Amino acid sequence: MSLSQFSLNEQLNNLKQQNLYRSRRIIDSPQNTEIIIDGKKNLNFCSNDYLGLANHPQVIAAFKQAVDKYGVGSGSAHLICGHSTAHHALEEELAAFTQRDRALLFSTGYMANLGVISALVGKGDSVLEDRLNHASLLDGGLLSGTTFKRYLHGDDENLALKLKTCTGKTLIVSDGVFSMDGDLAPLPQLIEIADKNQAGLMIDDAHGFGVLGNKGGGVCEYYQVNQNAMPILVGTFGKSFGTAGAFVAGSEELIETLIQKARTFIYTTALPAAIAQATRASLELVIKENWRREKLTALIKQFRNGAKQLNLNLMDSTTPIQPLLIGDSQQVVRLSQNLFQQGFLVSAIRPPTVPQGKARLRVTFSANHQTKDVDLLLSALEKATFKSKGVYDVP
């Protein structure tokens, strides 16, 4: 069978010409603030391992012990024979952590978001999503068969306006912390609008869990809202928890509905029990070691103060996601490459991940970073922007 009809080479060449071509770097070390690429050490400022738990000895030990007990593969879906005592214990602990009736594990965050939306709404219903939501949320809305609409980012007035034309059951969907901007959803306003319009509200707090709140409870702890006010809560383990997988937390009725109807839960193999056991260890660290969040706050403040002195165009964020807005895709690629040559890994984020004209360096911080690392990054950014003068013009 020939693929010539799909014009793959033409599509790839177009991506290269637009500076939108993506390439993988091969890492030959554990995930940490210092990683090895092609035999060279790099300071890593693009990981979502915000609390520095991906290579934590306690998490590693829990994983190894669980492999000895459960093996590697889970063997089947949760509803067949893949649901172990480790999975079940993690679900119970997540329910307590989020202060919700129950929690349900999914193999990935993408699958959790697609599964929840498709299980709750369908043809004749409506889904409203923030324009800057993660791709998994947007795809969940698009694939649900509903009337799908996007409202202006963080704009509760625009959301309220679009709600007037909705039909059937209506679900409002938003990130808790936006992955490319680092800002927070206006949760109190979303709750008020959802309640006024008798709409459901779903928050994907992938980048908030572990980072926000005194115990890392995310946007719900930050805003002090409970299950009744915010009924559908999604989280992932591949960021602050340092492992892999995802979960949904909510009422007894919600979780039972997902077990019966969420196709991405029903028809996929359960994540390995060893991952669940490792996540239990990381959850304990997330809750108990508040110093990690305190250190992150200090590092972010240090970076923002230094960036201000350099007149860098940082976006408004108080989270470990600190985007440096560049604008042009070619410019941001050149800056990222310059930093890499200096020994710093900072991702160039381009469309379609972000809107046209909003290309950026996505700088992220981990509790494992040191103050000297931040100083080194600021110095490298100063050199990179100086060398690229005429390419990157500070507004």
pTM summary value:
0.93
**Both 171 and 309 in a single domain?**
no
pLDDT at 202: 98
Mean per-residue pLDDT over the chain, rounded? 94
Evaluate if residue 393 carries a pLDDT over 80: no
Q: Which of 162, 171, 161, 160 is nearest to 125 (CA)?
A: 171
Final residue in a domain of this structure, among 288, 305, 321: 288
168 within a domain of the structure (yes/no): yes
3-class DSSP state for residue 87? helix
Evaluate if residue 387 carries a pLDDT over 70: no
What are the pLDDT digits (tens) for 27-85? 898 999 999 998 899 999 999 999 999 999 999 999 999 999 999 999 999 999 999 99
pLDDT at 381: 95
**Both 281 and 299 in a single domain?**
no
Q: Which of 113, 220, 132 is nearest to 179 (CA)?
A: 132
**Both 108 and 249 in a single domain?**
yes
18 within a domain of the structure (yes/no): no
**The domain spanning residue 225 has which CATH number?**
3.40.640.10
Confidence of residue 104 (pLDDT cuts 50, 70, 90): very high
147 within a domain of the structure (yes/no): yes
Decide: 125 and 315 in contact? Cβ < 8 Å. no
Top pLDDT among 108 and 385 is at 108
Task: Concatenate the DSSP letters of all residues of 143-161 into one string.
Answer: HTTSEEEEEPTT-HHHHHH
Domain count, the chain: 2
Q: What is the rounded average pLDDT of the residues 125-137? A: 97
The three-point CA angle 314-317-322 to 5° equals 55
Q: What is the rounded average pLDDT of the residues 185-190? A: 97
The DSSP call for residue 392 is S
Range from 21-25, 222-226, 244-248, 264-268 carrying the lowest mean pLDDT: 21-25
**Both 231 and 357 in a single domain?**
no
What are the pLDDT digits (tens) for 203-245? 999 999 999 999 999 999 999 999 999 999 999 999 999 999 9
**Both 264 and 313 in a single domain?**
no
**Both 283 and 178 in a single domain?**
yes
Instruction: Name the token pair of 25.
Output: 């770097």
Question: Rounded to an integer, what distance in angstroms lies between the CA atom of residue 354 and that of residue 321?
Answer: 14
**The domain spanning residue 330 has which CATH number?**
3.90.1150.10
11 within a domain of the structure (yes/no): no
**Both 178 and 274 in a single domain?**
yes
107 within a domain of the structure (yes/no): yes
pLDDT at 242: 97
Catalytic residues: 179, 207, 239
Final residue in a domain of this structure, among 254, 288, 322: 288
Length of the chain: 395
Q: What are the φ/ψ torsions at residue 224 (nearest 5 degrees)?
A: 60, 55
How large a percentage of the chain has pLDDT more than 70?
A: 97
**Domain boundaries, position 152:** 57-288
Question: Rounded to an integer, what distance in angstroms lies between the CA atom of residue 18 and that of residue 12?
Answer: 10
**Both 346 and 282 in a single domain?**
no
Question: Rounded to an integer, what distance in angstroms lies between the CA atom of residue 395 and that of residue 384?
Answer: 16
Final residue in a domain of this structure, among 228, 255, 288: 288
334 within a domain of the structure (yes/no): yes
